[in-house]
Amino acid sequence: MTTLPLSTRSLDELVMLHGDEPVTIGRFLARAGALARRLPAGAPIVNLCQDRHAFSVTFAATIIAGGTNLLPANRLKATVDDLVDAFAGTVVVADQPLEGFTGSLIDPAEALTCREQATLIPRAPADQLAAVVFTSGSTGRSSRIDKPWRTLHDSSLLNLAELDPPRGARVLATVPPQHMWGLETSVLMPWFGPITVSSAHPFFVADICHELERLEQPRVLVSTPVHLRALAESGIELPDVERVYSATAPLSRALARRIERASGARVSEIYGCSETGCLARRRTARVTDWQLFEAFELTANGNGTVAHAAHLPGPVRLMDHLEFRGRDCFRLLGRQSDLVNIAGKRASLAELTSILLDIPGVLDGVIFQPPEAEDGPARRLAALVVAPNLDPTDIRRALGRRIDPAFMPRPLRLVERLPRAETGKLPRQSLLRFFARTCRQAG
């Protein structure tokens, strides 16, 4: 049986900064081992820990105990109940109370204070189902994705090679560890490379800047376009940052350039999906084409583009239209579900939204196709925009300079915020419910 280590680092190397405590690999693994001894062997574990330190220890403990981490898209009781019903013997590990839940629940607090040091690196079977990820449903219903330990182990080494963070970097992530982008960069990568992640999970601009200031240089920020836009629009002087990695939604060239000027960072945008993990990268401020990670191969067929890699359980059909610019380079033309046809003209909703977000004064926004009417597809696009100092006429005037009149959103409604998930994504069902509510209020 092939086994793979949980870490390739030395036991005395730093893996995490938890508040004021520097946590070495040895102490981290001792805490994971202490918690593993409390878990039923081989059990599915719903990992609901909100703190990045607690989540990471629980994730490792589950693997050590031979179990599977179940990573739901949210903490709603109904979602957790569904997982408990679907996976026999499921146990919930949470560092905060889960209101109304009456099933088996373990608090990891005692293990998290362990002061011992592990003396060896645990290994896990390569084919052990280490995690089951449930997507946020940004294009429809949530789906299940299985992650064997080989996939997570090998993709972590690949990400370190391709993202190439500075040696000794201190990493701050504004994304939660439950999401694949946060899991890959702020949980798993520090197990395998010479970087140290902060357990902090700041949301507001002032908190992000404060947590960055607390870190030694070189600093790395793992984030999303939503958080980066908030940083750029805040007017707050940003700390010096060596690298910024952005994913989960398209990053505009204008925003990438603003962040590079404000922080001195090199901004890298990462393309991927929950099924493949990180797949390609580009320096958005300077280039349009994406550079495919070396371990991947893309093939086109009548149904779109398929990604292949030795560390994946099987081929993955991508949800995006790609234009190949060479064997390892491509351009994104938009999601298959993202292309719209109005009055015989075609456009990408992602590209239209990018144009909207480039308008000065627009803090957030989305252009989308409303639900179908009784007599067929919606004939107009709609937009929800966060722009406190603009009115709809200003926004339409700016859009009119860059988009065809057929794609001008009507209605275009100003709102205080969008119903984004913690990752910055906009689940379609949440968006449509929010839009319906704004229509009723306006009507």
Indicate the average pLDDT of the chain. Answer: 90
Q: Dump pLDDT digits (tens) for 108-156.
A: 999 999 999 999 999 999 999 999 998 765 444 568 899 999 999 999 9
Which domain-ending residue is among 275, 306, 332? 332
Confidence band for 374, pLDDT divided at 50, 70 and 90: very low
For residue 148, give Cα distances in angstroms to 4, 132, 164, 183.
Answer: 11, 9, 24, 14
**Domain co-membership, 257 together with 317:** yes
Q: Tell me what the mean pLDDT of segment 435-440 comes to.
A: 83
Give helix 25-36 / helix 52-64 axis angle, nearest 10°: 60
pLDDT digits (tens, 9 = 90+) for 29-79: 999 999 999 999 999 999 999 999 999 999 999 999 999 999 998 888 888
**Alpha carbon distance 433, 112 (integer Å):** 40
Q: What is the CATH number of the domain that holds 359?
A: 3.30.300.30
159 plus 182 within the same structural domain = yes
Q: 106, 103, 96: which is closest to 49 by C-alpha? A: 96
Q: Is residue 43 located within the same domain as residue 129?
A: yes
Same domain, 203 and 290: yes
Q: What is the pLDDT of residue 337?
A: 67
Residues 161 and 255 grouped into a single domain: yes
pLDDT for the residue 142: 65
At residue 373, the pLDDT reads 52
- 283, 309, 332 - which closes a domain: 332
Same domain, 48 and 168: yes
Tens digits of residue pLDDT in 201-256: 998 999 999 999 999 999 999 999 989 988 998 889 999 999 999 998 889 898 99
Domain boundary among 301, 332, 363: 332
Structure confidence at residue 283 (pLDDT) = 97
Q: Which domain holds residue 132?
A: 3-332
The answer to whether residues 398 and 426 belong to one domain is yes
Same domain, 253 and 313: yes
Whether residue 326 sits in one domain with residue 355: no
| pLDDT value at 9 more than 90 | yes
The reply to whether 253 and 269 lie within a common domain is yes
pLDDT for 140 equals 46
How many domains are there within the chain? 2
Interval 188-198: pLDDT, tens:
999 999 999 99
User: Can you give the pTM of this predicted structure?
Assistant: 0.86
End-to-end CA distance of the chain: 64
Is residue 326 located within the same domain as residue 350?
no
Question: Stretch 306-335: mean pLDDT, rounded?
Answer: 90
The CATH number assigned to the domain holding 283 equals: 3.40.50.12780
Asked whether residue 84 falls in the same domain as residue 65, the answer is yes
